[in-house]
Structure 1
Amino acid sequence: MKRFVTLLATLTALSVPAMALASTWNLDPDHSNVGFKVRHLMVSNVKGNFDKFSGTINIDDKDITKSSVQVSIDTNSINTNVQKRDDHLRSPDFFDVAKYPTMTFVSKKVVKAGKDKLKVTGNLTLHGVTKEVVLEVEGPSADTKDPWGNIRKGATATAKINRKDFGLVWNKALETGGVAVGEEVTIILEAEMVRK
């Protein structure tokens, strides 16, 4: 019995440092942005963002490739600064927010892609469709303590998706050729994280 207690104590002591190497971070919505841009009328890019979102990032400080990300976005919070356009984007023609109020990203794999760069592969669920997407990440930055004692990190992530892959197929042909709304959408996430 004594030997068992000693073994248990040793295993517990060894596991503490390993657990301490992982840290959990929450997205700070006041200092983060979930944005996108898409081609309009084949001549310019229209930009927008989602005002409501949350996210949890688990960082393995010893092996960054064992880290994970989970983000949830309120599709009703879409904002392109044009009310009529936002209403159309919320309608069944696009996001159909009454039926699909949330978009999510859940990581499956993290790999290093150079100095301070990562590729984060995960499942993006949008409009009831789940597809694998790769985020190109710059960061995360080193820890920084804010004036109130919180520990923060930052990162920027980008990805490109084809909206038709997610059932967002509405469009109008132009008399001059081309279409009103591009199919390729660039996603830009500016993330500021606070350690839990």
Structure 2
Amino acid sequence: MSRYLILFTVILLTVLSYGCANPAANKPKASVANAAPETNPAKPAGAETLAISPENSKVEFVAAKVTRSHNGSFKQFNGTIDLLGNSAEQSRVTIEIETGSVVTDEDQLTGHLKTPDFFDVAKYPKATFVSTKIEPSATGGPGYTVIGNFDLHGVKKSISFPATIQIAPGNV
């Protein structure tokens, strides 16, 4: 009988530890710091301006807690990529997001995100991002680290995140 109890306990602990795993553990991570001075605030001379819109781009996120994760996105946004030659490093990205356009995989969560507890869309209807630096990742390939100032909920912070950037004529 004690063998079965030990076996049951081991199985239960295994299931519980798997169930408590962080679902976002294997996702790329962003980092946050105080806002940095904008080193490239103006469009670079000779840059080609490409539009960012819901027709050609996505703004998505994964929010995780111990028990599960939620997928979400913003449906209304616009911005530009000022592409200088074929160089991501010399280019600039700006984007403006309508915070009220947030949607998630649960209607109740979507509604909650729009309240003053989170985005407070009535008071802060927009979030903005302006890149300050784009640098190749240490691993090479099409990977980059995008660094810039993100203004959300009236607070501006410098963030960095991994990105895959592939450049083709008239397209990024």
1:58, 1:93 → 2: CA distance?
Answer: 35
Distance 1:92 1:75 in 2: 12
Q: Distance in 2 between matches of 1:91 and 1:85?
A: 10
2:167 is matched with which residue? 141
What amino acid maps onto 1:67 in structure 2?
S
Measure, in 2, the Cα distance between the counterparts of 1:125 and 1:84: 25
Instruction: Name the structure 2 match of 1:116.
Output: 142
User: TM-score, normalization: structure 2?
Assistant: 0.67
Deviation track 1:130-164 (CA, whole Å, cap 9, x = no partner) reads 11101212112323xxxxxxx433xxxxxxxxxxx
Could you tell me how far apart the structure 2 residues matched to 1:73 and 1:125 are?
10
Bigger mean CA deviation after superposition, 46-55 or 110-119: 110-119
Q: Distance in 2 between matches of 1:19 and 1:131?
A: 27
Q: 1:62 to 1:152 in 2, by over 3 A?
A: closer
Cα RMSD (Å): 1.9
Task: Give runs of ≥4 in structure 1 deviating > 3 Å.
Answer: none
Q: Percent of aligned positions with the same letter in both sequences?
A: 35
**Aligned residue type for 1:39:** A
Alignment size in residue pairs = 127
Return the letter of the residue paired with 1:74. E
TM-score with structure 1 setting the length: 0.59
1:152 aligns with 2:171: yes
User: Which structure has greater strand proportion?
Assistant: 1
Shift of 1:111: 1.4
Task: Tell me the distance in 2 between the aligned counterparts of 1:142 and 1:91.
Answer: 41
Q: 1:33 to 1:64 in 2, by over 3 A?
A: closer
Q: Which amino acid aligns with 2:114?
A: R
- Take 2:115 and 2:87, find their aligned partners in 1: how far apart are those partners? 43
Q: 1:49 aligns with which of 73, 77, 95?
A: 73
Aligned to 2:110: 86
Stretches of structure 2 lacking an aligned partner (at least 5 in a row): 1-43
**Separation (CA, whole Å) in 2 of partners of 1:112 and 1:59:** 15
Q: 1:72 aligns with which of 85, 96, 111?
A: 96
Question: 2:53–2:77: 8 Å Cα contact kept in structure 1?
Answer: no
Inter-CA distance 62–39: structure 2 relative to 1 (3 Å threshold) = closer
